[in-house]
Every structure is written in structure tokens, then in C-alpha cells.
Amino acid sequence: MTISHHPPEDLLADFAAGKLEEAHQLVVGVHVAGCTRCARFVQAIEQLAGATLEDFEPVPIAPDAFDRVMSRIDNSPEDEAAPPPASATDHDLPPALRKYRIGKRRRIAPGLSMRPIELSGSGKARAFLLRSAPGSRMLEHTHTGTELTLVLEGSFSHEGGRFGPGDFDYGDDEIEHRPVVGDEGPCVCLVAMTGDLRMNGFLGRLIGPFVRL
């Protein structure tokens, strides 16, 4: 897997700092988990964060904080183990995604379906898996917000180049997308989106309401 499209550096730095909202954290995280180049960048930012922490001006903590911590350690030395079991049986999904509850597939248009990913609701962006049939020309659309897309399977191409598995695409309201899905198979993408997709043309107006989740 050769990744040729990466998230911009400031997005990676915000990811490392834990500042991204949940949907964006998810999409960038799945990219980083599969991209050594970006994992290295994230680690460098974490290293800088460690230095910042080490030099940070201390603030007073509760006087009994240490004793409380030690008594919690002594009273339950091994608790909070048992990670929640993966709810989904989608073994073809990246591990980071298996921890989420993923909704049923919904058809949006011929050859186009999506599965919503349940988030905590702490952010404004939604996350979903978008599946498009091979060779299909995706609907011409513009955004009212930002859109982070990560290819999990298959490929698509648009003005910005070809995007295959692991590739990351950043779209904002400046950009008009007209992606064409590759012939090799269906294209499955993990998408984080704020705002609405605005479909252009008759078909777009027809299905637009369904895309608004």
C-alpha cells in the first residue's frame, strides 16, 4: 500500500495534541495508524508535548491527591481492564473503527450507500462509511463545511489526483469535487463531514434530503 496523500501537518499536530473533534480524530487516527510517515510526525509532536509538560509551570494539586491515588491503586490494582468488546463483526474494518457502533447500511442513490458511525456527540462533524460502486461517477457536489475522507478500499480520482487505500483527502467549501470511482472494485471511504453536502443538478436535488442524515 503506497500512500501518496497525507493530512496537512497542522491537522496532524492537532491530532497529536488531542484537540480534534471526535469525527476528525477518528479519520486522522485511522490514517496515522496505517501510515508510518504520519505516525512519525505525530510522535514528534508528542515528544514536543512531553517537553512542554516537563517544563510546565506546576499548579497546586489537592493536598491529599497522592494518598487518594495510592489508596485507589491499592484497593483495585487491576481494574479498568477489559476493553469493551468490538460491537461490529466487520473484520475488514480498521481496528480503530471496530470500537464504534456502526449503523445499518442506507442506500443514498443507485450504487451509493452509507453507514453512520455513532459518536459521543461532543463535536459538530458526523462520521460515516461511504460505499460507491466501481466505475461510478460520484455526484457532483460542494460542501458547506469541511470534509475529511480516508479511502479504506478501492479508489477514486478527482482534480486533486488518484486516491487509493490509506490516502487522505481534505475538502472544504472552496473545492468542488467530482470524484470518479476506480474500476477495480467498490470504493469504501471513511468520511468526517461538517455542514451539508450540496448536490448539484437534478439527481442531487432529488436525493439531497437523504444525504443530510
Q: Residues interacting with Zn ion, by CB under 5 A?
A: 6, 35, 37-38
d(C-alpha 32, C-alpha 13), whole Å: 12
- Does 14 interact with another protein (rule: CB under 8 A)? yes
Q: Which of 63, 78, 174, 209 binds another protein (CB under 8 A)?
A: 78
Site for another protein in 57-76 (CB under 8 A): 57-62, 65-66, 68-70, 72-73
Interacting residue with another protein among 2, 63, 75, 77 (CB under 8 A): 77
Distances, alpha carbon 20 to alpha carbons 4, 23, 42, 119, 195, in Å: 23, 8, 13, 13, 16
Q: CA 103 → CA 56, 115, 195, distances in Å?
A: 43, 5, 20
| Count of residues near another protein by CB under 8 A | 66
Contacting residue, 5, 22, 93, 189, with another protein by CB under 8 A: 22
Helices 36-55 and 22-34, axial angle in degrees (round to 10): 120
- Measuring CA to CA, which residue among 163, 32, 72, 76 is closest to residue 9? 32
Closer of 36 and 89 to Zn ion (Cβ): 36
Binds 72: which of Zn ion, another protein, none (CB < 5-8 Å by kind): another protein
